[in-house]
Amino acid sequence: MSEIELLKINDFKNKEPENSFYANTITNHLLLHHSRIEKPHKHNFYAVFLFTKGTGIHEIDFNKYEVKPGSVFFLYPGQTHSWELSDDIDGYIFFHTEDFYEMTYVNNSIKDFPFFESNYSDKCIYLSKDKCQLIKDLFKTLLMESAKEEWKKKQLILSYLTQIYIYLNRFLETQSAVNFSDLRHYQSVFSKFEKLVDEHFTKIKSATEYADLLNITQKHLNRIVKSITQKTTTEIITDRIVLEAKRQLLYTNKTLNEIAFDLGFTDYTYFSRLFKKQVAITASDFRKMYKNER
C-alpha cells in the first residue's frame, strides 16, 4: 500500500445520475460496503453521520471520539477516518460533493458551516434526546426523498441538507471552544490561509511567505489565526506537516526517509526532530505503537 485509499462518491451504490449525493442507514451502508470501508480511508466528498444505536470509537485524523446514540460526525474531503463499532450500531448517513451543494446555492458555500470550514472546528457533536429526535426526523425524511424519483427532487434534498446543517451548527455553537464570532469575522482570510497550507505545506513552511501570499502582514495573519485556534501561524503549518506524516506512517509502506522527502525535508534528521518534538515519540516508534493497537 503506497497511498492512503481515497474513496469517491461514485464508489457507492447511487441512484443520482451525476453520482453527487448518497444517503443510507448506517446498517445498510455497512452491509453493502463493508469491504471498502473496513480499513482507514479518506473521501473526496463531504459526509455526515448520525448514530442512533450502538457504541464504538470513531477516529478522524488521529483524534478518537466516542460513538453513542446522539453522536454526529462531520467529515470533509481529504480527512482520514476509521471506526470500531458494536454489532447493534445504527443511524443515518449522507454524502455529497461540493458541487452538488454549491452549484444550486450560488451565493452560499458549504464552507459557510464552521464544522466544514476549518481543521480546528469540532468534528463531533453529542445531541440531547430532543435535539437528536429533530435531526433524526430530518435524516429520515432526506433518506425517503432520495429514494424517490419525483419533480424537483434535488431541490428538496438540498433544502433538507441545509436545515440539518443550520440546526447542527446552532447546536454546535452552544458547546464549542471555537470563537465563532471571530471565525465569522476572519472567516475569509483564515479559510484562504488553511487552503494555502493544504496546497503548499510540503514546499512552504514559513509564516511570512503565507502572509505574503495573502497580501497581509505576518502580524495580522497571526492575530487572525490566534483568535480562532489559540495557536500561532507557525504551529498551524507544523500541525499540517505532522498530520500528513502520521497518515503516511500508518497508511502507507513508505520508508521514513521517503516520507520526510515527500514532506519537503532534504534532511531526515530535521524531520525526525520536528516529529518527536510534536508527538513526544519518534516517527518509527509512532508507527510501531499505532500498528500494534490495531
Residue 104 has pLDDT above 50, yes or no: yes
Please give the single-letter amino acid code of residue 38.
E
Strand partners, 217: none
What are the φ/ψ torsions at residue 274 (nearest 5 degrees)?
-60, -45
Q: What is the CATH number of the domain that holds 191?
A: 1.10.10.60
Picking from 141, 174, 207, the residue at the C-terminal end of a domain is: 174
For 225, the grid coordinates are 489565526
Of 149, 174, 199, which residue constitutes the final position of a domain? 174
Average pLDDT over residues 102-109: 69
The residue among 148, 160, 147, 48 whose CA lies nearest residue 104 is: 160
Instruction: Describe the crossing of helices 218-229 and 187-200 by its angle, rounded to 10 degrees.
Output: 100
Number of domains in the chain: 2
Grid coordinates belonging to 62: 488521529
Listed range (176-190, 198-212, 277-291) with the worst mean pLDDT: 176-190
**Tens digits of residue pLDDT in 243-283:** 999 989 988 889 999 999 999 999 899 999 999 999 999 99
Q: Are residues 192 and 123 in the same domain?
A: no
> 49 with 140, same domain?
yes
* 104 & 238 share domain: no
pLDDT of residue 35: 47
249 in Cβ contact with 262 (< 8 Å):
no
Annotate 254-291 with DSSP letters as a single string: --HHHHHHHTT-S-HHHHHHHHHHHHSS-HHHHHHHHH
Domain final residue pick, 174, 193, 228 = 174
Flag whether pLDDT at 63 surpasses 80.
yes
Specify the amino acid at residue 50.
L
* Residue (of 84, 76, 164) closest to 122 by Cα position: 76
> What DSSP designation does 10 have?
G
**How many whole angstroms separate alpha carbon 94 and alpha carbon 69?**
17
Predicted structure pTM score: 0.72
Query: Does 16 score more than 70 pLDDT?
Result: no
More confident call, 9 vs 213: 213
Q: Are residues 113 and 209 in the same domain?
A: no
Residue type, 181: S
User: pLDDT tens digits, residue range 26-57?
Assistant: 999 888 765 455 666 677 888 999 999 999 99
pLDDT value at residue 15: 47
Say what the pLDDT of residue 1 is: 44
Binning pLDDT at 50, 70 and 90, where does residue 219 land?
A: very high
The answer to whether 75 touches 59, Cβ cutoff 8 Å, is no
CA distances from residue 4 to 1, 53, 159, 203, 243 in whole angstroms, order as listed? 7, 29, 34, 21, 13
Same domain for 198 and 52:
no
Residues 53 and 117 in one domain: yes
- 128: pLDDT strictly greater than 60: yes
Average pLDDT over residues 201-211: 96
Give me the residue label for grid cell 503506497: 2
Nearest-angstrom CA–CA distance, 294 and 282: 19
Sheet hosting strand 6-7, strand order edge to edge: 6-7, 41-43, 80-85, 56-60, 63-67
pLDDT surpassing 80 at residue 11? no
CATH of the domain at 140: 2.60.120.280
Domain residues for 49? 6-174
How many Å apart are CA 283 and CA 293, to the nearest integer? Answer: 16
